[in-house]
Structures are given as structure tokens and as C-alpha cells.
Amino acid sequence: MANRDILAIGTSAGGVDALRHLAREFPADLPASVLVVIHLSNQFPSALDAILTQAGRLTATFASDGEALQKSHIYLAPPGRHLLLEGARLSLGSGARENHARPAIDPLFRSAALCCGPRSVGVVLTGTLGDGASGLMALQQSGGITVIQDPNDAVYPEMPITALTRVKPDHVASLAGMPALLKGLLDQPQGSRVPVPERIKYEVEVAKGGRGTMQQMDRIGRRSVLACPDCHGVMWEIDEGELIRYRCHVGHAYTAELMSVALDENLSRALGSALRALEERVALAERMRTQAIESGRDKLAKEWSDRVREFEHEQTIVLNSIRRVDEISAQLKRHCS
């Protein structure tokens, strides 16, 4: 039986240095293909491929759609596309963002689970919030080995903490100890094939760019009372034991914690629109009061003065609400795991 030969890595904040360390320690004859998702902005070009190539003995490149997989090579998810594995080839998905990110880590792990679970090792490194936990669970359910960086060792511990909370990993390791651990895991025979849950197959198709139906979503979750922060459609609640996620049939997906943050951001934007409307009402009322005073219509001027005070009071209420929502959102972002 062949050994495990797929190494899927997900990271976010602090991930460049962590990836540079791993690249420096990987041997030139690493008997696996390394697939990496790190949350990158699509607003600026990235030199991460050059950085990792220069750091070690393996060549690192941004993946191309349909590219054949090779061992002893590092493949990076390009900005704006989900990196997916389809047997011996790579696929770049144009599906909706997950956890506010594309590329997202969960789709990579799910695609590895679907095609190559028993051959795969999934790794969650330093990062914020909770991307990667659901995908790591899917990989474990499909026969893959799961590894999480020790949160005490991570520059940003939230992502490892989330994964530890949701998944009982096979291994927890410091960054310094991870190269030797991963080499040992890749030297082991691949596991036995296990059935892949239908939900994983569906979510991989969505990440590719497909859209589900309400009937399909009803089979993997239950309809919630929440609207999608991105498209405002119905959200389905998906229960994965310790992990609760939300997904709409367009494809947007959130952990419960990130859903809360996204809803707070939408509320803040809505309150901002209300504040602008009130500012315009105050300006108009003040203009009408001035005209009434200039024309000697004292009674009408008093009515407009009363409206100015009323609108200004409403302004204060909305402004305080915005500040409170922003404070709560900031606290959640710091606390989320």
C-alpha cells in the first residue's frame, strides 16, 4: 500500500513566517504534494511563491486550474480562487466566499477529503477566527490525519484554538516540531478508504462555482431565521457536533461566530444609513426654520425648531447605537475562535 502523499495546510495571520519555516525544513525529495491556503488580499500582487521558493529546497508556485499534481512541490491558492484537489489534478473554484474569504481553507480540506482522504494530512497553523475547523473535521471523517499547531506556540492562536475545540486532532505540535512530525506521517501507509458524507460532496461542488437548490440544502441542514449577510437569502444551520455553521444556497458560508460578526457589520452599515438620513433631515429642518424666521412666521419657525431638536435627539440615539455595535463587533472579533 502506498504512503500518504497529500499535505494540505491552512493558515491566516502570522502564516507567512510559519510557512517559511516549514519550507526551510522540507527535504528536497519530500514524498508528497504540498497544498497551501493562506488568506491573501486580491487587491495586491503576492510574492509568496518567491518567498517560499527562496526559503527552502522545494519550488513554490501559485496553482493553475487543471494543473497536474507533482510531489516535492508547493502549490499556493491564488488570491480570489478556492484551491481544490481533484484526484491527480488541481482545480481553482470560483464559488462564493466562506468565512469572508476566497481562497478559504475549508474548501481545500473538504476537496482533499472527497478525493484523497486516506492519503491526506491536514494541518491548521496560526491564524484568526475559525476557518479550517469544519474542513479539518471533514478530512478526519474521510480517513485523513489531522494536525494542529499548539495554540501556545502560534503567533495568532484563535484558528488553532477553534480547530482544537471542534476537532479531536490526531496530533498537536509546535511549529519547531512539525517538520519531523509531518515527515513521519508521510512515511506511513495511507489509511483505508471510508465513505465520504454527501454533505462534503455537495460543498465541494459549491466551492467550484456551482449553486445548490433549497431542496439540497434541506438535506444537509435546517432552515434558520437568519438572512445571509452577503446576498440576504435564507441561511441553513448545519450542525457538526461542537461546530455550528450557516450556509445559503448561493454558497456563502459562515461559522456561528463569524455570522455574528457579519450581522453586526450589516447592522452598523444600516445604522450608518439611518444616521445620514437624519443628518439630512436636520439640515433641511434648520433651513426651513431659517426661512420661517426671515419671513416673520414665528409659529412655523417654532414648529421647525421643535423638529430640529427631535431629529438631533434621534441622531444621538443612532450614533450611540453605532458605537455600541462597533464595540461589540470588535470584542467578538478578538474573542472569536
| C-alpha cell belonging to residue 86 | 481533484
Query: 12 catalytic, yes or no?
Result: yes
Find the catalytic residue in 12, 120, 134, 337: 12
Query: 82 catalytic, yes or no?
Result: no
Instruction: Please report how many Cα atoms fall inside a 13 Å half-sphere around the Cα of residue 281, on the Cβ side.
Output: 16
Helix (H, G, I), strand (E, B) or coil at 216: helix
Find the catalytic residue in 33, 91, 106, 131: 131
Q: Does residue 125 contact residue 102 with C-beta atoms inside 8 Å?
A: no
Q: Phi/psi of residue 247, each to 5°?
A: -145, 140
Distance from C-alpha of 82 to C-alpha of 84, rounded to nearest angstrom: 6
Work out the end-to-end distance of the chain between its first and last CA atoms, rounded to an integer number of angstroms: 38
Find the catalytic residue in 39, 82, 249, 252: 39
Query: 131 catalytic, yes or no?
Result: yes
- DSSP string over 268-317: HHHHHHHHHHHHHHHHHHHHHHHHHHHTT-HHHHHHHHHHHHHHHHHHHH
| C-alpha cell belonging to residue 291 | 426661512
Indicate the burial class of 6 (C-beta count within 10 angstroms; 0-12, 13-18, 19 or more).
buried
Distance from C-alpha of 208 to C-alpha of 91, rounded to nearest angstrom: 8
Residues noted as catalytic: 12, 39, 131
